[in-house]
Amino acid sequence: IDAKKNGEKWEVFTHGGRNNSGIDALEYAKRMEVNGAGELLVTSMDRDGTKLGFDTELLSKASKILDIPLIASGGVGKINHFYEGAEKGKADALLAASVFHFNEISIMEVKEFLKTKNIAVRL
C-alpha cells in the first residue's frame, strides 16, 4: 500500500505517489487482509526518500486493525529509525534502500543494533 496523509487519514496513491485513488489506506489494508493477503508492504509516500524515519503513526494504526505481518517502508535515514519502525510502528519487517545503496549503514550494523534493543533478528 502506497499511502499519503490527507488530513486525519491516509489515502492510497498509485503511480509512484502521483495519483490519489481517494481510498482510505487503513480501510483498504483491512479489505486486503479479508481478501487473503498474507502480509502488507506499507510505504508512506510522505516519508519515502526524506530520511526522517518510518511513518510510525500509520504503521501503528495499521498494526492495531490487522492480524497479518506489516513490512515498513519509506523514510529511513538513521539506524535508530529501524528500531522506531519495529517498536513504535509495530512493524514485523523493515525495508530500506538508499542507506544501504549508498553504504551509509550496513545491514549487519542494523541487525547488531536491533539485537541490542531486544528486537528479534537473524544474524
Q: Is the pLDDT of residue 6 over 90?
A: no
Nearest to 91 by CA among 68, 112, 113: 68
What is the pLDDT confidence band of residue 8, given thresholds at 50, 70 and 90? Answer: confident
Q: Is 106 helix (H, G, I), strand (E, B) or coil?
A: coil
Task: Decide: 54 and 3 in contact? Cβ < 8 Å.
Answer: no
Predicted TM-score of the model (pTM): 0.92
- Per-residue pLDDT tens over the stretch 53-98: 999 999 999 999 999 999 999 999 999 999 999 999 999 999 999 9
User: Residue 23 is inside which H or E element, if any?
Assistant: strand 19-24
